[in-house]
Structure 1
Amino acid sequence: MRILSCQKLARNMAWIALAFSAVPVVAQLQSDSGNEAGTNFQGVVRYENNAPAPFVQVELWTDGESSWRTITTTDRMGKFHAGVPCMIIQYKIEAPGYRPVWGRVDVSLNPCRTLEWITLKAKNSNMPEVPATGVIDGRIASITPDARAEFDNGQRAINGDDFSGAIPHLQKAIALYPKYAEAYQLLGVAQLKTNQASQAEASLLKAIEIEDRMPRSQYLLGVIYARTNRVEMAEKPLNRFAELDPQNPDAQFELAKVTFALHKFPEAAEHARNAIKLKETDPGVYVVLGYALLRQKKADDARHAFQHFLKYDSTSPMAADVKNLVAQIDQKLGK
Structure 2
Amino acid sequence: MQKNIFFIVPLIIVLYSCAGALISRDARIEFEQGLALFDQGRYEEAVPRFQKASVLGPRYTEAYVYLGRSYLNLGKWAEAIAPLRTAYRLAPEETRKEAVNFLLDALIGGALSEFKKENYTSSTSYLKEALGVDPLSDTARNELVKSLIALGGKLVSEGRSSEAVTAFSEAVEIAPKNLDAYLGLARAFLKTGDYASAMHIVNDAVKKIATSDVERAAFWDLVREN
| 145 and 246 in structure 1: CA distance in 2 versus 1, 3 angstrom threshold | same
Structure 2 unpaired stretches of 5+: 1-11, 14-21, 55-62, 90-102, 153-163, 190-197
1:147 paired with 2:20, answer no
Q: Distance in 2 between matches of 1:138 and 1:219?
A: 31
Residue 224 of structure 1 is matched in structure 2 by 113
TM-score w.r.t. the length of structure 2 is 0.51
What corresponds to 1:305 in structure 2? 209
**Counterpart of 1:186?**
69
Which residue does 1:177 correspond to in 2?
A: 50
**Equivalent residues of 1:185, 1:203 under 8 A apart:** yes
SS at match of 2:209: helix
Q: 1:230 to 1:293 in 2, by over 3 A?
A: closer
Distance across 1 between alignment mates of 2:220 and 2:119? 36
Instruction: Spell out, residue by residue over 1:243-295, the C-alpha distance to the aligned partner (whole angstroms, 9 max, x if none).
Output: 1111102222222222231422211111224xxxxxxxxxxx83444434544
- 1:120 maps to none
Instruction: Map 1:4-19 onto structure 2 (within 5 A).
Output: none
User: Retained in 2: the 8 A contact 1:293–1:301?
Assistant: no
In the alignment, structure 1 segments of 5+ residues that lack a partner are: 1-122, 125-136, 155-168, 193-199, 274-284, 311-322
Cα contact 2:115–2:123 (8 A) shared by 1: yes
2:136 is aligned with 1:258: no
The answer to whether 1:245 aligns with 2:121 is: no
Instruction: From the superposition, tell whether residues 205 and 302 of structure 1 become closer, same or farther in structure 2 (CA, over 3 Å).
Output: same
Which has a greater percent of helix? 2
Alpha-carbon spacing, 1:138–1:259, altered in 2? closer, same or farther (3 Å): farther
Residue of structure 1 in register with 2:171 after alignment: 268
**Residues 138 and 226 of structure 1: is their aligned pair in 2 closer, same or farther, counting only changes over 3 Å?**
farther
Instruction: Give the Cα separation in 2 of the matches to 1:146 and 1:287.
Output: 53
Task: Work out the number of aligned pairs and report it.
Answer: 152
More strand by share: 1
Change in 2 beyond 3 A, CA 1:268/1:328: closer
Q: Are residues 229 and 330 of structure 1, via their aligned partners in 2, closer, same or farther at CA, if it must alter by over 3 Å?
A: closer
Contact 1:218/1:238 (<8 A) preserved? yes
Letter matched to residue 183 of structure 2: Y
